[in-house]
Amino acid sequence: MEREHYTESVRENHRNAIEDARALGTFDAWIGGESRPAESGATFETRDPVVDEPILSVPRCDGADVDAAVDAAWDAYDGEWGQTTPVERSRTLQEWVGVLRDHLDELALLESLDTGKPLSYAEGEVTKGLDFIEYYANVCRAEEGKQIAAANDAHIYTRREPYGVVGCVTPWNYPLVLTSWKIGPALAAGNAVVLKPAEQSPLTALRIAELSEGILPDGVLNVVTGFGDEAGASVSGHEDVRKVSFTGEDVTGEAVMTAAAANITPVTLELGGKSPFVVFPDADVEQAAETVAGSITYNTGQSCDACSRAIVHEDVRDEFVEHLVDEVESHTIGDPLDEETTLGPLVSKAQYDKVTEYLGIGVDEGATLATGGDAVVGEGLEDGWFVEPAVFVDADNDMRIAQEEIFGPVETVVTFSDYEEAIELANDVEFGLAAGVATENGSLAHRAAADIDAGSIWVNKYYGRTVTGSPFGGFKRSGTGRECARDTLEAYTQEKTVHVPIEQDPTL
């Protein structure tokens, strides 16, 4: 993409980038293979969090639009898509991924403008997201059924069949990656999809749908933009949606599960976290601090699996905090379109207000801010939702800053004195999405990995990046179901058992 007219001024850069973005597509809802406004004609703005200006107006879809999308999805499923073989679906999805890769730059720009994440990180995430779709396009070809040897007088076998229409609802923090985690396996398994992206960041979902034209049959992928209590709730409570896959906050997950329960619709829920990172006294403390800093600052701390609670042995606490503070202070905070920038703004004013409120709560609770917490004042950044990454020390695990998901660059450091206490602190939280342990002792690492209640455990290095094919999901309030894994395909299918009698004395 040409970006030669970019200048030194942040606001001017963003106005030019927004102009580029507007020229890329129609950004209406995508239903039945065509762009459509909401039936009501209503729209809402998606805003650039760097300069707090509107990027585009997109349809504010409601129940009527969701009904139309679900009907279009069933038409596609009952038509040619429902008859495709895995090989055919695989080729179709690969072709689509190829086209999306050709548009990587523009998808990254849309993702960066919508969320405020550095453009270079957005490029990496778009690449990763497309890799997830490609993965499912590949592994769907290897799906097999079972033969059950329970009786001599019957041939009993199982088939895995798609649900038909799957509803997907996604959050704003990794828009394309998290969309791919859902639509990759859902489509590869043979379903048609109705996708409701987050209202803060709908642009890449709309663009990838538009770029599916002529590749995915009409109605196989439908995108309805809008708010959670309108379009989102209409998807999760729709009686003709046979499977719901949701990623977002735990309280929203409850509402989604309740709505789906009314129709006995199965759900996958990927929810929030308050993940611990336990630093044992024998750990490489500098590496542990680097890892924690990377995890709590990547994407400006807006990661479900960010290790936001460092649980550090008292003997290495001072050394750990010193390195941690150095690391979080080393970021280049600035315009995400500038390639030097490593930390962008929070996604919205609402998220800024939430994070800054928690900074006040931490101080009121008696924790000490070792660094950060101020608004960032840089030329051209005055209207953006920037905040300095913060580290709280002298904290207790029962403080709100140690128990509640802040979803910003705020680390809380708690100390422990023995193994039992470390595990108790790690598990003393409602969530159970991820955890890290830092130790040079292999046995201790395995023991802690077994004792901590979390869906993913990282030893020493916390990449925080889900590796394609490795299961990802939560214990406790962090959700139910696993994404990213090969088995995830099964979550988008239902099993059917076929019994065929076998004559004991066949007459020829």
Residues forming contacts to ligand NAD in the complex (CB under 6 A) are 169-173, 178, 196, 198-199, 227-229, 232-233, 236, 247-249, 252, 255-256, 270-273, 304, 405, 407, 433, 474, 478-479
Closer CB to ligand NAD, 6 or 227, in the complex: 227
Closest CA to 114 of 274, 324, 345, 331: 345
* Shortest Å, Cβ 431 to ligand NAD: 9
Residue 47 or 317 with smaller CB distance to ligand NAD: 47
Answer yes or no: are the C-beta atoms of 485 and 472 closer than 8 Å.
Answer: yes
Q: How far is the CB of 109 from ligand NAD (least distance, A)?
A: 21
- 61 as an active site residue: the answer is no
C-beta of 229 vs 339, nearer to ligand NAD: 229
Is residue 270 among the annotated active site residues? yes
Find out whether 464 and 293 touch, Cβ atoms under 8 Å: no
493-501 and 154-162 strand pairing: antiparallel
Q: Which residues contact 340 (CB under 8 A, 6 or more apart)?
A: 332, 334
Give 44 or 74: the residue with its C-beta nearer to ligand NAD. Answer: 44
Q: H or E stretch including 199?
A: none
In the bound state, the residue with its beta carbon closest to ligand NAD is 228
Residue 176 to residue 183: CA distance in whole angstroms: 10
Q: How far is the CB of 289 from ligand NAD (least distance, A)?
A: 23
The residue from 304, 411, 483, 484 that is catalytic is: 304
Q: Give 404's Cβ-side CA count (13 Å radius).
A: 12
Chain-centroid distance, C-alpha 444: 31
Q: Is 498 helix (H, G, I), strand (E, B) or coil?
A: strand
Nearer to ligand NAD, 280 or 462 (CB): 462
Cβ pair 59, 196 in contact under 8 A: no
User: Could you tell me the smallest distance in angstroms from the CB atom of residue 67 to ligand NAD?
Assistant: 16
Among candidate residues 111, 125, 199, 270, the one labeled active-site is 270
The Cα–Cα gap between 353 and 356 comes to: 5
- Give least dist CB 460 to ligand NAD, A: 22
* β 192-196/165-169 pair status: parallel
Q: How far is the CB of 58 from ligand NAD (least distance, A)?
A: 13
Of 380, 384, 358, residue with least CA distance to 372: 358
Q: Which is nearer to ligand NAD, 341 or 478 (CB)?
A: 478
Residues 58/67, Cβ–Cβ less than 8 Å: no
- The residues annotated with a catalytic role in the active site are 270, 304
